[in-house]
Each structure stands twice: as structure tokens, then as C-alpha cells.
Structure 1
């Protein structure tokens, strides 16, 4: 007997062709939206499940991401051709320059310090041990890239499935992750997808009310790339608003323990090399595509004062702190409690926008959070178009600066600056829509689906205990889904 009424409605899988305006319009070219009498999620489709489709799409996208590197895989990873061919990856460069070709294991070998956290350092070193042969050769550099690309493709799939399972009524939102142009273009530059997968698993565990597992995943993610740690701040804000601290406390405690477990051996074994990541982050000059780097480029042309590294460190600390205060105000002031994914997207976006460097692959940090926070295809494609423009511009700019070629045959500095500004404006554009969704739940795609906070764990459906308005109240019922 099929479920009916509210029970059926609570289990129905939301179809993008019904729920997303752009997909609804585009579906007319292939027969129109899903029919009124279809009941995905209630009527089983056999083995042809959303997760299988998502894995197939991710595999196709991953193959496309590797094919983009085809020129370098055939002709070698040399400068400036790897920039002009837009096939640059950190893997061959690090393999040749950080001693990986000589079987040096970062943090645990007496050699050049490695500017990455512990787990990333282990991934980099262990994957090098799998490369046959010895010495630095083009074939070994390509093999190192291929080995890491396989690992990244697996992490991509894990992130897709974790995103899909984080909202069982909206599994198709994970298509945004599976075929994201930003991941296709930049996912195989560095090891960021490992941290993305771990944070996605942490969000899934938190959504399933498994705080210890969530904390372990977040702690390991922080030991891979630093940014997952900001997710813990989101939980603190929502715990303040709801007065529910148990799950947040367990998650934070497990995160600290798991981070410590993987870091302590490195600290004991080689404290100097372990600390190098933090020293490097503090002492490095403003990096490519950051607002500070753009200012210095303009300063060189306009004869303005350049920003020194200590000044940039202070500006980053202050600007990120101010952004966090604004996000905290939104979290505690909005008429209805924001969702976990919404606040997570805002704080990670603030971390990227105010950071000292914006490497092209940093876009992958935000994509799974976007799929959970604001799953709207129109805004997603606008944002991805801006990121693709930046992706092309930075390689052309690096090709020019490394080849010393004439400006007439390259893009000059102003065009690169414009691309960086467009990328930053696109991220702000998405953040604005997320804030609008917070203050007006009737336009929030998730809450229009009769859900409160699918990733919220114990926060899901919780009444307010404290708000800045001084009028704590129970959550307003979600509005009806769009026709």
C-alpha cells in the first residue's frame, strides 16, 4: 500500500524540473517537467537510482577534467606552454621540486619542508612512492599526476554521494557537484577535493545526528586543508540560537581529537617541518587573484603604495573577523533560524574573498556547499561562468609573466584584474542570494520543499532560545513547493 497525504509528501523526492525555474523551462525541449502523477522516492525505479546516475555523471566529468590536461600529458609539463595550454597542475611541479621523485616523505624525512598540512603531505608523499622508476622524468611526472587524479576522482564521487544523501528529498541537487564546471576545470590542480570530500562526509554525519563521526571527518578535513575548521563556528552560532549544545560540543571535541591524533606524530617527529605550513602561510606575500595582489598590480602601474606582507596579514585578520561578525549577526537576527549549509557557504566564501591568495582550485570548496545552501541553476551557471573566465585569465596572465612575451600577444594586467574582480563579484552575488533566502524563507528552494534544515541535526525544527531581536519563537512553517 502506497503512503498518502503528509507521509507521502515528506518522502517524495523533489524533481528539479518541478522545483527549479530554469530547469523547468529547459525541460520543455525534452518533453517537459516531471508529470503530476509521478512520485519519485515513493515508487521505486529499480536499479536505476539517482546515486547511480550521479556516479555516471561524475565519472564523465572527471574524464573531461583529465582530458583538459591532455596537452601536458603528451608534451610535458613545461613553462610557459602549460599555462598557454591551460593544463597546469601542481602535481608535476611539486613532484620535481619537493624531492618526491627521490622518495622523500614530507614531515617524516630530513628534507625540504612542505607547505601543506599533515594529511595532504602524506597523500603527496605516499602517491609518489607508487610511481615506478627513479629520478625526475616527464613520464614519472605524468604518472604522478595520473595517480593523484584517480584519488581525486574518487574523492569527487564521495563528495557527490555525501551531498546527495545530506538531503534525501533533494538528491538531484548533487548534480551541481557532479558536473560542476569549476571542478572539471580546477579539480585536478591540487589535493583540495580530499578536504571537500571529508567536509561533505562531516556534514552528512551531522545531518544524521552522528556528531562524533562528523567531528572526526571535520578534524581530518582540517588536517588536509585548513578551511573545514570554519564549519565549527557555524555550529556554535546555531547552538547559541537554539540553546542545543550537545551535538555541537561532541562534534567540536571529536574534531579536536581527530586533528590532534594525525598531527601529534608529525609534531613529535619533526616539529620544524610540521610548523612550516603555518610559518609559510603567515610569511607568504599576497598570492595570485587575491584582492591584495590585485591592489599591488594596480599600485605598480599607478605608483601607489604597495601592501606589505605584515599589512596584508592584519587586513586579512580584520576583514575576515568583520565578515564573521556580520554572518553572526545574520544568524542571530534573521526572523527564522538560518540553515547550516547557508551559514557554512557564507563563512567559507568570506574566507576565500578575504584570504591572501585565491588559487583557481579554491572554487571546489564552495560548490558542494552551494548545492546544499542555494540549489538554483541560474545563479550557479552565472557564478561558474565568472569562475571559468578567471580560470582562463590566470593561465594567460601566468603565460605572459613567465614567457616575457610582448603584451600584444598576451592579455595585459588590466584584463587579468577585471577577471579577478568579476570572480569576486560573482561570489558576492551568490552570497547576497543566500542572505535573501535566509531573511525570506518563502524563496529558499529547500524550505519551499517543506523542510526546515536537512543538514541541521538537532537544530532541525528546533525553536529559538536566543535572538538579537529578543523575540525567540518556533520556526515558521515552510511554504508550499512551487507549482
Structure 2
């Protein structure tokens, strides 16, 4: 009996400590979000023009590094006119969006519309959007602390959240990706098939916010197919759960179709415009990619050279992105053959690194996509610190660079800062690619409950 009581006390103590840590992390996240809002709100406020644009926005957005896409897009997408997105509108031959068309997937467009409800200027739109987005960051903090303990402070109180929380509409999509990991990892009472299907639905929803969680469906399917996490003593040959993987795939695809179909039917041209816009976007000075700062230097400055450069990027970028995905899956499968477990979280993180490295656009706020993997996986803190420095060089330096260009002052210093950020970030993405592929999850990882031969539906295909 004393032994049982001692074990019970230890469990109760662990639960109390976890609850206390969760509360602290979520509270710190709330304070960080307040700071993030105040940072962006420096660019917003009276006096306003007739269209609701803050007069201070164009004056300070680059010099004081308080620019946000949220405030900027108050104009130009009919958000200020409270037009529901996608139903009306389209895109011109030169890539200009018209009517209610926006450049993001449908759920982000709906969030943009909701943030504008009751807003009469860009400052109110920024505030309403921040209030709408903040709960997603808080939920992400809670999920991460439950998964990885104190490492969640990197998300909750790190520089990226201050810089980018309200730069764009990233917080909901990050939340869906982390929630998918939580469902698979921290809900062992449900069968792997059930967890895989729920996670696939969440990743499908994430795809409808900002696309990138869709790439995580493939490693998730491999995890379900191979039976999930298995103990060393349970490494007898196991048949693959083909049906479970197909069910998860169907859940992801079905979610994407169910969310997009009403918009496509109600206004196909407006819905299709968001896809066309991204297809037409070029690798230019605003994209912070290795293509502009690297490959572009091999071409001339005339119009024909620019056309040739963009054509080269349109071929090289998707080819290398897909090659990085294949390499990540191959590394994950090799690890599965050695350990019996397909490392779907690490492979997902590696695939994201490949996408960020080779995609023609690498906006500063994409760092928020990467931070959860730095929390979830055991990678060196020195590498994380180096990445945050390179990221800050982009997140701050690029706007100061634009200010130098616009003001006619010397651009040499800020251009060097930006290049340091671009190439420092690129090198570290390569490092993280391979670290993620072999990394173990951080924090306490409970063993899965015993699985009887009769209950091993996760491992045995059903005809």
C-alpha cells in the first residue's frame, strides 16, 4: 500500500507540475502576443485617409520595421468594403487581383473577412485580426508544452512570435499542424487509425489556411501504414496497414474538397484567382529567396535575361522541392527499417526545410512554420540560436533595406545584413533537414499501451 500511495503521489505531482508549466507558458505567450501587437500597431492610428489608411503607415512601415501584411491588405482586396472573398472577383492577365479575390487559400480569406467585420480603418482591422488570431497562438503554446515541456518557451516567448505573430495570417495554420502532431502523439487511448484520420483532417484544414501542412500528410500516411510507434520487443515482422493509410488519405483529401467546393461553385474565377496569383508570382527582391540573391546574379539585367531567370526558377524550384521531399521520405524509411518506427514528425520537419529552402518565395513570417519543429525535436540549441539570428537579419534587415532604397541612402550595410540572413538561414535549413530526419522527439514520451494480437488492426490490412 505505501508503494502504491508513493506512486500515486508521484503521478499527482507530475500532473501538478505539468499544469503549472502549461499555465506559465500560456501566460508568457499572451504577454508576447501583446508585445507583438504593440510592435505592429506603431504603424497604425489616426489621422486616417478617406479610405481608412493610417497616414503614418507609409512613413514608418520600413524605417521603424512595423509593416504587416494585415494592415497593408486593408486596401486592394475589397476588405475595406467588407466584400466576402472569392465569390466575386478574379485576376487580370498581369496578375492583379480584382473584386473580392485574395491570394491565400479559402480559410485564410474567411479570417481576413471576419477581421474586417466592424472595422472602418486599417488600425481597427489590425486590432480585430489580432484578437481573432491570438487564441490560435495560445492553443499552440498549450499543445507544445504538453508535448515538449519547457522547450515550448521558444514558441511562447521567442523573437519570431514578436516579429511575426500579426505580420500575416500564420497562427491558425501553425496551430492545425501542431494539433495534428498532438492527436497522433498524445492520445494513445485511441487506435492509430483513428488518430491518423483525425490528424489528416487537421492537416487538410491547415492546407485550406496556407497549403504547407498538406505536405505532412505523406509522412503521416507512412506512419499509419507501418503501424506507428513500436517497442523494441515488438519488432517481429508486421504487415502493413494499407487500409488505415488509405482512410487517412481520404480524410485529408475529403477535408480539402469539402472546404473548397462551396467557394469554387459560388465563384470559380475568384476562387481560382488565388492559385493563379501564386503561380504567377516571381522570385524578386521581396521574396528573400536563394533564387533572387543567388541564381539571379548569373543573369543579365535586361528584360530578356529577367525572363530567362524567371523561367529557370519556375523549373528548378519545384523540381528541387519535390526532390527534397523524396529524400526526406527515403531517410525516414531507412530509419523505419532500423528501428521499426517511421519518424513522421522528423520527416515532416525535413520536408518543410526543403520547401522553405527551394521555394521561390520565403517570406519572413514563414519562420513561425518552422519553430514548432525546433520545439518538438531534439536539435542543438546552438543551431536554433544561430537560426534565430539569421532570421532576425531578414525580419528586421529587409525592411531597413527597403527604407534605404526608398530614401536614397546607402544600401550597402543593409544589403549585407539581408544577404547574411538569406544565406545563413539557407545553410541552417540544410542542417536542420538532416537533423530533423534523425531526431527524437523532445520531452517525456510515454510508451504505447500493450496491443493484443486481436486488437492489432493498426498493423494488419483488412480486405
Determine whether 1:255 maps to 2:252. yes
The answer to whether the 8 A contact 1:160-1:174 is kept is yes
Map of 1:394 onto structure 2: 398
Per the TM alignment, residue 291 of structure 1 is displaced from its structure 2 partner at its CA by: 1.2
Q: Contact 2:390/2:420 (CA < 8 Å) preserved in 1?
A: no
Query: 1:278 Cα deviation (Å)?
Result: 1.4
Given the superposition, is the C-alpha separation of residues 118 and 324 from structure 1 closer, same or farther in structure 2, using an over 3 Å criterion?
same
CA deviation vs aligned residue, 1:58-90 (integer Å, no higher than 9, x gap): 011111211222421357453352111010001
Structure 1 residue 371 and structure 2 residue 371: aligned?
Answer: no
Task: Work out whether residues 164 and 171 of structure 1, in 8 Å CA contact, stay in contact via their aligned partners in 2.
Answer: yes
| Counterpart-to-counterpart distance in 2, 1:227 and 1:389 | 24
Q: Partner residue of 1:425?
A: 427
Aligned partner of 2:95 in structure 1 is none
Match of 1:270 among 263, 267, 291: 267
- In the alignment, the residues of structure 2 paired with residue 355 and residue 462 of structure 1 have an alpha-carbon distance, to the nearest angstrom, of 39
1:180 and 1:249, CA in 2 relative to 1: closer, same or farther beyond 3 A?
A: farther
Closer, same or farther: CA 152–92 of 1 in aligned 2, 3 Å: same
Cα drift, residue 322 of structure 1:
1.2
- 2:82 matched to 1:85? no
- Equivalent residue, structure 1, for 2:324: 323
How far apart, CA to CA, are the structure 1 residues paired with 2:342 and 2:289? 29
Indicate yes or no: 2:126 matched with 1:129.
no
The answer to whether 1:55 aligns with 2:26 is yes
Number of aligned positions between the proteins: 411
TM-score, normalised to structure 1, is 0.76
Number of the residue aligned with 2:131 = 150
CA distance in 1, matches of 2:384, 2:345: 16
Listed one character per residue, the Cα deviations across residues 210-255 of structure 1 (whole Å, up to 9, x for unaligned) are: 3333222211111111001001111233355552345433332222
1:109 pairs with one of 70, 88, 92: 88
Cα separation, 2, equivalents of 1:235 and 1:70: 39
The separation in 1 between residues aligned to 2:2 and 2:88, in whole angstroms, is 62
More moved, 293-302 vs 368-377: 293-302
1:360 aligned residue (361, 364, 372): 364
Partners in 1 of 2:160 and 2:221 — Cα distance?
A: 30
Task: Give, in angstroms, the shift of residue 436 of structure 1.
Answer: 4.9
Q: Does residue 221 in structure 1 map to residue 220 in structure 2?
A: no
Counterpart Cα distance in 1 of 2:355 and 2:12: 37
1:92 deviates by 1.7
Does the residue aligned with 2:124 lie in a helix, a strand or coil? helix
Corresponding residue to 1:406 among 406, 409, 414: 409
Matched, 1:119 2:146: no
Q: Per the alignment, do residues 339 and 123 of structure 1 end up closer, same or farther by CA in structure 2, a change over 3 Å counting?
A: same
Structure 2 CA distance for aligned equivalents of residues 453 and 393 of structure 1: 46
Note the residue ranges of structure 2 that are not aligned, 5 or more in a row.
47-53, 90-98, 228-239, 450-455
Tell me the C-alpha RMSD between the 2 structures.
3.3
| Cα pair 1:105 1:126 within 8 Å, conserved | no
Match in the other structure for 1:235: 220
Residues 225 and 206 of structure 1: CA distance in aligned 2, closer, same or farther (over 3 Å): same
